[in-house]
Amino acid sequence: MNKIHFVIFMLALSSTAVAGFNGLTIHSRANCINNESISWDATSYHMLATESLHYTGFKNGHDVTTEWESTWRSAAVHFAEATPGSGWTVAGIHWVIENNLPRCLGTETVTDCSLYDGWWDRDKPQVSKYVAYVKKEPFDASKGPLPGSGVKVLPLNNVNIPDSFKKKILSNMAQQKLKGYYFLQSDYPKQVLIKNKNSLFEVDNSMNPFDTHLKKNLSATKLAFSYKGISNISSKNFIGYAVLGMWKNNGWTGIKAFFNDKDFGTCTYSLNNMALTKGAVQIPIEIVRHDINHKITVIDIKGNEGDGFIYTISWFDKIFSHDFECVNMKYDLTITEKMIGFAQEIDTNEEIERR
């Protein structure tokens, strides 16, 4: 459920990360469809990106991100600050890599951790060969945006990604310009819509700040910044909130709202505080728009008539990245147009601490 698309070389919401590829977007986040959030702490980013399996790559020239989406239990994954090799934190439990396996501190094996659901054993074999070239090394600023440098717009040719990625990006851009969307084969839209129809979203209003299930009330979450929610989502259509990002300053650095809309489908709106996470984003000028209140905007629509479509609008300011995504079984240009208007309302009316 956490997706961002189109061409963004993204270390957004991360201090360092290895970029993945999803559609037209180069990014540092995994795509997940369920209800929980994981916060990662790592500057030894290549190692943890590989060992945690949250890395997207190519299989026979195709994006393989969608093959992994259903395996993750969390709504969002982000890399964050830490000292090299220090591990990462999942819902308050610290994990490390030992003997090429993840282990939470204070236990003998990873399976002693209550949060472990088998993802390591299940997914490592299929992923390892795609990330074999990723080397364990400290962050190299010449290979990507400097952590904390914010949003940068630059020509695609100047984005430090493989030529094969650039060709795929240009191909997807051309398709979207011609048809309004580009082709992607994925069961993601159906999974989300079925889950919504059958009321399978797990809502738990526990006041534990490290509990990352969906919350019906914003007051059940603990954020590192002041936020009062979105006024243009009706209560009857609202599903819940999930925290995002990393735990910092006694709170989470991001929030995601899940909701339904009769025109759009099943949707999410994600807000991430890049100032707190020392985020950095490089966006190719070729895909930049300014639809959302004159801010840097990227619009991405992908899918096919059999599998359904994923509509995503992303926009950026000096503090936050915003992602508005909806899944629908049909393609309709008016959905995009109405989503732009809805996103403009969100950006104008949400009460948020912008500092």
Please state, in angstroms and rounded to a whole number, the distance separating the CA atoms of residues 301 and 172.
10
pLDDT given at position 45: 26
Which residues are 138's β-sheet partners?
none
Non-local CB neighbours of 28 within 8 Å, separated by 6+ positions? 10, 11, 12, 13, 14, 17, 18, 19, 20, 49, 78, 79
Summarize pLDDT for 95-120 with one digit per residue, the tens: 554 544 444 444 333 333 433 344 44
Which residue ranges in the chain fall short of pLDDT 50?
A: 1-86, 88-93, 97, 99-139
Query: Among residues 208, 206, 190, 186, which one has the least CA distance to residue 198?
Result: 190
Summarize pLDDT for 11-41 with one digit per residue, the tens: 222 222 222 222 332 233 222 222 223 332 2
Domain extents in the chain: 9-179, 183-278+290-349
Q: How far is C-alpha 175 from the chain's CA centre?
A: 23
Per the prediction, the chain carries an average pLDDT of: 66
Residue 79, both tokens: 């890399």
**Torsion angle in degrees (nearest 10) through CA of 219, 224, 227, 230:** -80
pLDDT given at position 51: 26
pTM, full prediction: 0.66
The b/e string for 122-149 (b: 16+ C-beta within 10 A; e otherwise) is ebbeebeebbeeeeeeebeeeebbebeb
pLDDT given at position 143: 56
